[in-house]
Amino acid sequence: MSSSVTALEQGRDLGRKIQPGPILLLGAPGVGKGTQAKELVKLWGIPQISTGDLLRANVAQGTQLGRVAKEIMGRGELVPDSLVNEMVAVRLLEPDTVRGYILDGFPRTLGQANWLDGRLATQVESLPVVAVSIQVNYNQLLRRITGRRNCPVCQTIYNVYMNPPKRDGFCDVEGAALVQRADDTEEVFKERMRAYAALTAPVVDHYREQGRFAEVDGDRPIAVIAAGIVAAVEKLRG
């Protein structure tokens, strides 16, 4: 058995023992928050709440929020806190969040973090949040972002450099033509990294100072990182 498979098996054993509660996945664009969130969903059966995915769904549906967000996202900037907080508030009312949820890409500003902290403080039955920050170096992130392709049908994520599909440009599972996100270009990536450094890095410090915080090295096989996150959450919930 490979070491990464063993690591995920160990993670699974750990993961079954705990009540996950609210989990924040923090980290720069391309560190693998979405990929890891999907691993944790399989393990714990709690939902992934990706503000990027929710915003893209609004753009695709042409809602009022989507029309405002489209331009901002295309520039690699952040959508205003009030709009994102409201969208998250509505999503957190869904009954599937009762045992916990994985917030992926939220909070991204101190304003969002303070809003979330305030909201959770009013919910006595909710466990406190556990924050996990995934670390990957800049050059690696650039390759991940510019090489990223998604299946529009099953949402499987590929990378043309590191995890290519068997047939160039097509999903292994669905056979659908893969798509690239409009903001996954080098130019927009640089703006997203600037927004991350200015606005989101302080959020990482905010949760580090609160405790219930862990950092994991995101430059390892997916299953090994997932096992690291599970072990960290288990320890912080212990």
Catalytic residue numbers read 33, 108, 148, 181, 192
With a CB cutoff of 8 Å and minimum separation 6, the contacts of 166 are 172
Of the residues 76, 100, 165, 218, which one makes contact with ligand AMP according to CB under 6 A: 76
Angle CA(103)–CA(108)–CA(111) in degrees, nearest 5? 110
CA distance 235 to 238: 5
Minimum distance between the CB of residue 106 and ligand AMP, rounded to whole angstroms?
A: 4
First to last CA, the chain: 29
β-bridge partners, 133: 26, 215
Answer yes or no whether residue 222 interacts with ligand AMP by CB under 6 A: no
What is the footprint of ligand AMP within residues 39-58 (CB under 6 A)? 51-52, 55
Helix (H), strand (E), coil (C) string for 135-166: ECCHHHHHHHHHHEEECCCCCCEEECCCECCC
Answer yes or no whether residue 192 interacts with ligand AMP by CB under 6 A: yes
Smaller CB separation from ligand AMP, 9 or 71: 71
- Coil, strand or helix at 60: helix
- Coil, strand or helix at 231: helix
What is the footprint of ligand AMP within residues 56-75 (CB under 6 A)? 72-73
Answer yes or no whether residue 27 interacts with ligand AMP by CB under 6 A: no
Answer yes or no whether residue 108 interacts with ligand AMP by CB under 6 A: yes
Answer yes or no whether residue 35 interacts with ligand AMP by CB under 6 A: no
Of the residues 44, 106, 189, 213, which one makes contact with ligand AMP according to CB under 6 A: 106
* Residue 98 DSSP class: T
Size of the site for ligand AMP (CB under 6 A): 17
Please report, as ranges, the residues that interact with ligand AMP according to CB under 6 A: 29, 51-52, 55, 72-73, 76-79, 84, 105-106, 108, 112, 183, 192
